[in-house]
Structure 1
Amino acid sequence: MHRSRVYALLIDTPEPEAARAAAFWAAALGATAEPLPGYEQFTSLHGAMSGPLAAVQSVDDEPRMHIDFETDDVDAETARLVALGASEVSRWQECRTLRAPGGHLLCVLPVESDRAVFEAEAKVWP
């Protein structure tokens, strides 16, 4: 048995456009854009949404949006999503990148949010 929840909506933006995109999305969503210390490719959009975190991620790829799932068992959550039809694309540190049916990317990562928030909001999976 493990638990997971949607942790973040990421706005993937080509690196040369990331700063402009972060400024746009912050203004459009009434948020504050703040770089994530130690993770220079991410700019948090504080106050953009209630619930999941919103952030701009600088990428070496096409613009898109993707969802991050946080979980207390990355292997079990990855297996659950693969059983539902996703396929594993890559691994980065402890995170897994998957492609869902239809082509959308999603990531599975260890718990990042406040533990009490995770405990209160995560779904339990067999």
Structure 2
Amino acid sequence: MHHSRLCALVLDCRVDDLEPAARFWSAALGKPIDTLDEDGDGRYAALATAEDEPIILLQKVEHDSRVHLDIETDDLDAEVTRLEALGARRIAFVRERWWVLEAPTGHRFCVVRKQRERFGPHLNRWD
């Protein structure tokens, strides 16, 4: 048995500087900026969300701007296998930490390890 849930809404931003994008989305969504440089490399900014809300992350990218979902899990291999059985396909294993998958609809999304210390609520249990 393993668990997963919707973890994050990721705003992929094709920009040189994330700060103006973070300021726009902060004001648009009414969420304060948590950090403008989550990993210290200038690639990620985060808005503050409550523990029971999805994380809202801004990511600097080279491809066109879009929104993607992150699904967090306590068993990366089992969750990716489950999603493949539903029709998803593996695209890339990134930094040996998460999988980029593509849904049958063409939407890309990520499967990541557990992101917050507390794993609930809204947790799915899979056998």
Give TM-score, length-normalised by structure 1. 0.88
Comparing 49-58 and 96-105, the one that deviates more: 49-58
Alignment counterpart, residue 58 of structure 1, candidates 54, 57, 60: 60
Give the partner amino acid of 2:67.
Answer: M
More strand by share: 1
More helix by share: 1
The aligned counterpart of 1:20 is 20
Distance 1:48 1:13 in 2: 23
Distance 2:58 2:81 in 1: 27
Task: Tell me the matched-pair count.
Answer: 124
CA contact (8 A) 2:52 2:121 kept: no
Q: CA RMSD in A?
A: 1.9
Give the share of equivalent positions with the same residue, in percent.
Answer: 37
1:41 Cα deviation after fit:
1.2
Structure 1: unaligned runs, 5 residues or longer: none
The aligned counterpart of 1:110 is 113
Give TM-score, length-normalised by structure 2. 0.88
Residue deviations 1:44-68, cap 9 Å, x none? 0113895111111111111110010
Runs of 4+ in 1 over 6 A off after TM superposition: none
The aligned counterpart of 2:104 is 101
The aligned counterpart of 1:77 is 79
Structure 2: unaligned runs, 5 residues or longer: none
